[in-house]
Structure 1
Amino acid sequence: MTTVLSRLLVEPAPLAWFERQSWHPWLVVGLVCVGAFVGQLDATIVQLALPTLGRAFDAPLQEVSWVALSYLLAFAAFLPIFGRLCEMFGRKTLYIAGYAIFIAASALCALATGFEQLLAFRFLQGMGGALLGANSISLLVATISAGQRGRALGFFAAAQAVGMSAGPALGGLIVEGLGWRWIFGVTVPFGALAMVLGWVALPRTAAGGAGKRFDWGGALLIGPAIILVVATLNHLSGRGAGSPLIWGAVVAAAVLLWALVRRERSTPSPLIAPRLFANPAFAFGALAVMLAYALLYGIFFLLSFAQDHGYGESPAQAGLRLAIIPVAIGLSAPFSHDVKLWLGARRIGPAGMLLCLLGLAAFALAASWPADHRFLDMPAFILAGVGIGLFIAPNNHAAIAAAPADLAGAAGSLLNLMRVLGTSLGVAAGATTLAWRLEVETGTSGGWMAANAEALLAAFRSSLPVLGVLALGAALAAWAAAGGAFGKAPPRREG
């Protein structure tokens, strides 16, 4: 099997002319940054379009949320699988294949004629995104000299920030001016250009372990386990906590997770290194990553419907306002280290989440006085963005510093997986909570499109405490991680 894959994944040599140029390594950085930009753009551009897609396909909240979830779950389920395959067989061909799958699936999403088709193509798009995510930083690090690596990683982070910031604003303008199909088509030319340039410019990569055994058991268990957990949470309000189907899904998810843990502990080449979770500081740091991103995307989900259906904002207006959050994240994150030095390593995480809680309170006030919401929710956008911007980098550093030195790469990959899983949980939590609160406010199960603006804003306001619980959980987890999980603080590996 490995011999067949090795032959199929033979990497094309780059053009010699590119390799002779002094700027060739920075061309590779640029190509990787395009993938980072496209991935973040897709994640936030779809959030803004969910109300429009719900109307287009007459879909209730739990169903329309799957437009985001199908992509995210495919990304999360296949990221560790593709990460291991790339280690074993090389990265260039698989990275180019990731672009090909992503742009083909994007075009198919734009052409979808039914809701089920759109979900299937979004899942395929997530697989392509996972191939890109599994290779991007590794290709960058392998190409750039150690002295220039920090600068290159800064460009990579900037590309992600620009993509996340541009998503809501660009999505709103596209939905209003061209229609929802174009939010999927807009990434196709970027991906096509990057794929062609990648073929002729990316260097060959060395396969690091074609002789290693692939963890087929873990690969077969991880996807169904993640999908069952998120699907159960997403449909909890529709089925009810006492539903036999919900309880069956909970039991099945628990069995799959137990089998996955047992498998990863027993295999010599696990997809997810169990030794990482043996360190409480890393485990709490990873939990904090998941909860912080669940909070962020829960906010995005709820605000998309509040801005659209509650306040009656046009897609363009809603997109420009939602863009304030990622812009605030991008502006505050570079100063998070200085704030950490001022407040202390254990206080920076709770301080960031305190700002988020204040932002949630401001969102609740704005929903109580919808006529003046623009004046009230502006500080809420800023507080939420700055809070998350101050939270993410210090918490990630605390988690990576707590990981064993020989597992630093695996720790980074796992934090990326927790980020995507948190995003999925945030969307699912937002969908199920808003649907439940709408039923309470209206007294019917007529769905969000049948509810008036007042009922939707009331449901939005009463959904915010769930996000507050996520913020409190993230604060406690980050506090524990920075303090060595209630013990001696772990030694810090700077850089």
Structure 2
Amino acid sequence: MATDMSPHPSRKRWSAVLIAERPRPERIRSRPDAWWLAVGTVCFGAFMGQLDASIVTLTYGSLRTGFHASLAAVEWVSLAYLLTLVALLVPAGRLADAHGRKLLYLYGFAVFTLASAACGLAPSLFALVAFRVVQAAGAAMMQANSVALVTTSAPRERMRSALGVQAAAQALGLALGPTVGGALVSTLGWRWVFWVNVPVGVVALVGGHYLLPRTRARARVARFDWAGLGLLAVATTSALMGVSAASGLAVPGWGLALLFVFAACAGWGFVRWQRRAVTPLLDLALLRSRAVAFGLTGALSGYLVLFGPLVLVPVVLTARGSSDLTAGLVLTALPAGFALAATGGDRLLPRGLPDRGRCLAGAVVFTVAVSVLLVVPPAIGWLVPVLALTGLGLGTFTPANNTMIMSAIPASSSGTGGGLVNMTRGLGTALGVALVTLALHLAGGDRVQAGARWAAAVLVAASAVAVASAWLSPRTDPTVSRAAT
């Protein structure tokens, strides 16, 4: 007797539901503001990603007490998340280009939400670090697709405005992180720092199902590039660990040198492999575009300038006798300026000013702002206007910079492009924190003011790179037709 080995119809039905992108309801898709609804949905992830990045550091004291751990051990709660996130952003974008950006984004939010709940239930520090790795994998699936979903949802002429709103959502999350984190830890305990993600994640999942468009332009992948993923992970992880170790961790000189050797060798091997691979993880042809290459350089420099002061200002102010609350309030001027410029910049700048001009104007503004720190004392009266002006410059620069990059990338590779943008953001964030910490460390614990000048010099150098990248970018903005359902 013949046996029917074909899958049961109900299994086929559930399989189709799990791997297929669902269309938006017609009443939503046909609305004139449907693209704004999609952008607003993506802002949930942008907000939570930055809130989570800035809120977790507030738990260090409670974690050290609760788990009887050292500061070096507790730092892995953040370090493990960051290393995983940076390593997986480009692969997640590549998978999204092949299988659907909406699909990967929603699955990423589901993983992030479940892992957040697990982090809040962690019985040990080791378990918490492990759950943070899973949480970062979900965040990579979200962040690799956030920029792509915005650029494929918004009309070409409104792309910069849409990316500005997303950047403002990130700045808002960054600004609220210290305040929300401090309130939660002091009242409900450190576990609520992770549990707060759960209700937001549920709302975002429901909203994303109904409001996000399906992927129309896809890049089919016959075989996933696991070798490329491994080389990229080793390169980024070794480089970030090396920079972090140089910032004051107890790592011997030979170990530090070995990390940078691993990073250089893996990076060289990754480029060589991508040129030979049949289905490369990253199409290196994308990086031959001046708009993409210089744009990514500028994005990395901009985020270095954005996150460097988050380390510098609290250290300097507390050394001068200010409280942590005062330092947090002073820091708010930076993301507040960023959000103001990102959402309202189009109303103040000439409509005909191209993205390159906006990048250049913003980069000049924050270069002038951070240069002031080289010649004035790091007092509150100076820091507030300097940080606000830095935020205004960055808020003008970042949306235009991202628009130039994504406009130069074909729609079928927008997930990979979004992954590249977010990977450079992550690297810039890590370098901003690590290089400022290194400058303060090299100056010595009792020479905070001298260390602040060295840290300001690092920020000025990064700002100068951002100005150069904007100046060297193409003078005409590339146009790529994009469509969304």
Fold-level match, TM-score > 0.5?
A: yes
What SS does the corresponding residue of 1:271 show, helix, strand or coil? coil
1:168 touches 1:322 (CA, 8 Å); kept in 2? no
- Cα gap change, 1:254/1:36 in structure 2, threshold over 3 Å: closer, same or farther? same
Q: Distance in 2 between matches of 1:121 and 1:176?
A: 23
Shift of 1:50: 5.1
Aligned partner of 1:77: which letter?
A: A
1:173 touches 1:319 (CA, 8 Å); kept in 2? no
Shift of 1:285: 3.3
Matched, 1:479 2:468: yes
1:83 touches 1:134 (CA, 8 Å); kept in 2? yes
Q: Distance in 1 between matches of 2:469 and 2:66?
A: 45
Shift of 1:92: 3.5
- Cα gap change, 1:321/1:233 in structure 2, threshold over 3 Å: closer, same or farther? same
- Cα gap change, 1:406/1:480 in structure 2, threshold over 3 Å: closer, same or farther? same
2:135 match: 125
Shift of 1:376: 4.1
Q: Distance in 2 between matches of 1:148 and 1:389?
A: 16
Shift of 1:479: 1.7
Alignment of 1:54-133 (within 5 A): 63-133=73-143
Q: Distance in 2 between matches of 1:377 and 1:386?
A: 14
Aligned partner of 1:97: which letter?
A: Y
Q: Distance in 2 between matches of 1:467 and 1:239?
A: 22
Aligned partner of 1:272: which letter?
A: L
Shift of 1:346: 5.1
- Cα gap change, 1:461/1:115 in structure 2, threshold over 3 Å: closer, same or farther? farther
Aligned partner of 2:302: which letter?
A: A
Matched, 1:191 2:201: yes
Matched, 1:378 2:363: no
The counterpart of 1:271, out of the listed 281, 290, 295, is 281
1:451 match: none
Q: Distance in 1 between matches of 2:62 and 2:330?
A: 17
Alignment of 1:87-236 (within 5 A): 87-140=97-150, 142=152, 152-153=162-163, 155-199=165-209, 202=212, 204-205=214-215, 208-236=218-246
2:304 touches 2:428 (CA, 8 Å); kept in 1? yes
2:359 touches 2:396 (CA, 8 Å); kept in 1? no
1:447 match: none
2:92 touches 2:140 (CA, 8 Å); kept in 1? yes
Q: Distance in 1 between matches of 2:465 and 2:29?
A: 52
Percent of aligned pairs with the same residue? 34
- Cα gap change, 1:379/1:177 in structure 2, threshold over 3 Å: closer, same or farther? farther
Using the TM superposition, name which of 336-345 and 405-414 deviates more.
Answer: 336-345
Matched, 1:425 2:431: yes
Shift of 1:310: 6.3
- Cα gap change, 1:472/1:408 in structure 2, threshold over 3 Å: closer, same or farther? farther
- Cα gap change, 1:310/1:203 in structure 2, threshold over 3 Å: closer, same or farther? same
Q: Distance in 1 between matches of 2:418 and 2:160?
A: 16
Aligned partner of 1:328: which letter?
A: G
The counterpart of 2:349, out of the listed 325, 338, 343, is 338
Shift of 1:61: 6.2
- Cα gap change, 1:394/1:357 in structure 2, threshold over 3 Å: closer, same or farther? farther
Provide the aligned length of Structure 1 versus Structure 2: 461
Shift of 1:73: 2.3
1:369 match: none
1:459-479 per-position Cα deviation (integer Å, ceiling 9, x unaligned): 365155145224313313532
2:330 touches 2:380 (CA, 8 Å); kept in 1? no
The counterpart of 2:421, out of the listed 415, 421, 436, is 415
1:396-415 per-position Cα deviation (integer Å, ceiling 9, x unaligned): 456567x5768983555422
- Cα gap change, 1:480/1:60 in structure 2, threshold over 3 Å: closer, same or farther? same
1:320 match: 329
Shift of 1:252: 1.5
1:232 touches 1:246 (CA, 8 Å); kept in 2? yes
- Cα gap change, 1:385/1:472 in structure 2, threshold over 3 Å: closer, same or farther? same
2:395 match: 389
TM-score by length of 2: 0.79
How big is the alpha-carbon RMSD for the aligned residues of Structure 1 and Structure 2? 3.9
- Cα gap change, 1:19/1:254 in structure 2, threshold over 3 Å: closer, same or farther? same
Alignment of 1:357-376 (within 5 A): 357-359=371-373, 362=376, 365-366=377-378, 373-376=379-382
Flag structure 1 segments of 5+ consecutive residues without an equivalent. Answer: 367-372, 442-454
What SS does the corresponding residue of 2:19 show, helix, strand or coil? coil
Flag structure 2 segments of 5+ consecutive residues without an equivalent. Answer: 1-11, 481-485
2:163 touches 2:399 (CA, 8 Å); kept in 1? no
1:172 touches 1:319 (CA, 8 Å); kept in 2? no
Aligned partner of 2:435: which letter?
A: A
Shift of 1:325: 1.0
The counterpart of 1:462, out of the listed 445, 451, 471, is 451
What SS does the corresponding residue of 2:478 show, helix, strand or coil? coil
Q: Distance in 2 between matches of 1:65 and 1:57?
A: 13
Using the TM superposition, name which of 41-50 and 187-196 deviates more.
Answer: 41-50
What SS does the corresponding residue of 2:281 show, helix, strand or coil? coil
Aligned partner of 1:476: which letter?
A: V
1:30 match: 40
- Cα gap change, 1:72/1:424 in structure 2, threshold over 3 Å: closer, same or farther? same
- Cα gap change, 1:284/1:49 in structure 2, threshold over 3 Å: closer, same or farther? farther
Q: Distance in 2 between matches of 1:84 and 1:406?
A: 12
Q: Distance in 2 between matches of 1:491 and 1:144?
A: 20
What SS does the corresponding residue of 1:235 show, helix, strand or coil? helix
Aligned partner of 2:328: which letter?
A: G
1:434-467 per-position Cα deviation (integer Å, ceiling 9, x unaligned): 4454xx33xxxxxxxxxxxxx4xx3365155145
2:333 touches 2:391 (CA, 8 Å); kept in 1? yes
Q: Distance in 2 between matches of 1:120 and 1:73?
A: 12
Aligned partner of 2:363: which letter?
A: G
Shift of 1:96: 2.2
